């Protein structure tokens, strides 16, 4: 509880007899107020001695016996002081008022003070649990952010490695296209350098990056490869944002495993935004598995993608892959 709540609660407790007297059409004199206030003072002492001393000193350190003995002594001492005040030093209830039996007064004081100590423990333990939970959540958040940053740092070299492999194949067949590809790659790397550190970017920017990447990869495709790309126009993105480079792994794999230099090949890439709240990425490509000698970085990108999705879109995504031998299908659905 905040200090303001403590002050309000204790103010209401001390002021309650004045309110009750006013409700009955009577006014409380100072003598009566002092007589009543002794009891809330005893509650206040019991509460805060536990709240600030006994709980931290004994209970949180698992010294339960010391905690119980300390409270027994505290409650007994406060009860004696309260009875002594009301009997000898305080203004007294007045001769016209009913005086309950001594055993009733002592039992009432002990019970109320014990409940006050228990309430102090409950509030302190709850506050400590809440504080620990918040600290744990902050720690988990920091760890998730660190892991996400680590995954991003893995993604960049992996992307560069695969792209350079494609450019390398162009150098042997078409040096002019290879030079253009290197220039295009520099623009893609600029995008990665400046946008990849952001948690989310405009979907229109990501679509533009994907189109540039597909254009770069298309330079090495022969006439036997049938490429289909369907992307939303920038005006259709409606200000939607997405995590950067979240689709590139699936698209990389389509070019890497869906193209044959001699056989008819097919790559179909479709990304659409449904009702400004759901992104659907569907990729279908021919299935030409790589040999063991040519499985460079195989599986790293996909594993990285799954971890990033779990961190960025927990319980808000679906990643499904199917392979019928001839075609490989990847479906990624993200609820924004």
8 Å CB contact between 327 and 266: yes
pLDDT at 164: 74
pLDDT classification of 119: cutoffs 50, 70, 90? very high
CATH 3.40.50.1380 fits 139-335, yes or no: no
> Is residue 18 predicted with pLDDT exceeding 50?
yes
Q: Dump strand ranges (E) for the chain.
A: 201-202, 225-230, 241-242, 265-274, 278-286, 317-323, 327-335
User: Is it the case that residue 243 has pLDDT exceeding 80?
Assistant: yes
40's tokens:
């809330």
Average pLDDT for the chain: 81
For 84-110, the pLDDT digits (tens) are 887 776 554 444 444 567 777 788 888
Q: What pLDDT score was predicted for residue 96?
A: 46
Q: Spell out a b/e string for 9-47, using b for 16 or more CB atoms within 10 Å of the CB, else e.
A: ebeeebeebeeebeeeeeeeeeebeebbebbebbbbbbb
* Torsion angle in degrees (nearest 10) through CA of 50, 55, 59, 65: -30
pLDDT digits (tens, 9 = 90+) for 44-67: 999 999 999 999 999 999 999 999
State residue 318 phi and psi, 5-degree precision: -140, 120
Residue 24: band (very low, low, confident or very high) from pLDDT cuts 50, 70, 90: low
Q: Which long-range contacts (CB under 8 A, 24 or more apart) does 260-263 make?
A: 260/224, 260/286, 260/288, 261/222, 262/224, 263/224, 263/288
Predicted structure pTM score? 0.56
- pLDDT band at 215; cut points 50, 70, 90: confident
Taking the C-alpha atoms of residue 332 and residue 282, their distance in angstroms, rounded to an integer, is 7
* CB-neighbour burial class of residue 307 (10 A; exposed 0-12, middle 13-18, buried 19+): middle
In tens, the pLDDT along 179-202 reads 777 777 777 777 777 766 678 889
Domain boundaries, given as residue ranges, for the chain? 3-99, 139-335
Q: What is the pLDDT of residue 94?
A: 45
pLDDT at 146: 64
Rounded to an integer, what distance in angstroms lies between the CA atom of residue 19 and that of residue 28? 9
Report the percentage of the chain scoring pLDDT > 90.
32
The more confidently predicted of residues 119 and 140 is: 119
């Amino acid at each position: 509880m905040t200090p303001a709540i403590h002050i309000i609660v204790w103010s209401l407790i001390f002021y309650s007899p004045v309110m009750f007297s006013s409700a009955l059409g009577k006014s409380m004199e100072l003598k009566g107020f002092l007589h009543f206030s002794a009891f809330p003072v005893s509650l206040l002492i019991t509460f805060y001695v536990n709240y600030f001393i006994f709980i931290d000193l004994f209970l949180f350190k698992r010294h339960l016996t010391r905690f119980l003995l300390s409270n027994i002594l505290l409650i007994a001492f406060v009860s004696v002081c309260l009875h002594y005040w009301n009997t000898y030093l305080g203004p007294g209830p007045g001769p016209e008022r009913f005086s309950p039996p001594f055993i009733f007064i002592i039992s009432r004081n002990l019970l109320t003070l014990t409940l006050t100590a228990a309430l102090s423990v409950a509030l302190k333990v709850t506050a400590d649990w809440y504080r620990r939970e918040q600290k744990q959540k902050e720690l988990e958040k920091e760890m998730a952010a660190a892991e996400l940053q680590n995954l991003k740092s893995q993604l960049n070299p992996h992307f560069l490695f695969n792209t350079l492999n494609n450019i390398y194949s162009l150098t042997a067949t078409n040096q002019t296209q290879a030079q253009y590809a290197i220039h295009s790659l520099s623009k893609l790397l600029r995008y990665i350098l400046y946008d990849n550190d952001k948690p989310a970017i405009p979907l229109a920017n990501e679509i533009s990056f994907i189109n540039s990447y597909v254009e770069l990869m298309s330079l090495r495709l022969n006439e036997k490869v049938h490429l289909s790309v369907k992307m939303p126009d920038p005006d259709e993105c409606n200000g939607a944002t997405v995590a950067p480079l979240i689709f590139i792994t699936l698209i990389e794999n389509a070019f890497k495993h869906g193209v044959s230099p001699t056989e008819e090949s097919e790559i179909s890439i479709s990304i659409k935004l449904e009702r400004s709240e759901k992104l659907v990425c569907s990729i279908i490509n021919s299935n030409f598995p790589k040999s063991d000698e040519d499985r460079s970085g195989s599986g790293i990108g996909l594993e990285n993608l799954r971890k990033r999705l779990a961190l960025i879109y927990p319980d808000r995504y679906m990643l499904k892959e199917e392979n019928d031998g001839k075609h490989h299908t990847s479906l990624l659905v993200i609820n924004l």
